Amino acid sequence: MPLQFGALTTRATMFLDLKDVDSIINWWAVFPARHDGALKQMLILRSQFAATIRAARRTIASREDLQAKLSQSLAQEAQHRAHQEERTSRMSSVEMLRRELVAA
């Protein structure tokens, strides 16, 4: 049975079939910056699907359009992190403490 990713929102739910290279690539293409790392973890945690995951990663590595998508996604992720760090640096110590308490 395919894995199901998605929240109960208005967004579409994505099904990931780890036995299907195209399914893995389509899932990866939704959010390459995060899904690239997730694929690395799946190689370890779901070793029964290692052959198809490796095949998908080879395809991703060999296709220029997918590599461009990864680069763009990583740049957006870095920009987002920089923005978050900037916001955090402007927070007062009370706001930072409140955030830590909420997260705990």
CA atoms within 13 A on the CB side of 96: 9
- Domain-wise residue ranges, the chain: 3-103
Its pTM stands at 0.65
Partners of 14 in beta bridges: 5
Q: Which pLDDT does position 11 carry in this prediction?
A: 63
27 or 104, higher pLDDT: 27
pLDDT tens track for 48-85: 999 999 999 999 999 999 999 988 888 888 888 888 88
Mean predicted confidence (pLDDT) in 14-41: 91
Q: Is the pLDDT of residue 5 over 60?
A: no
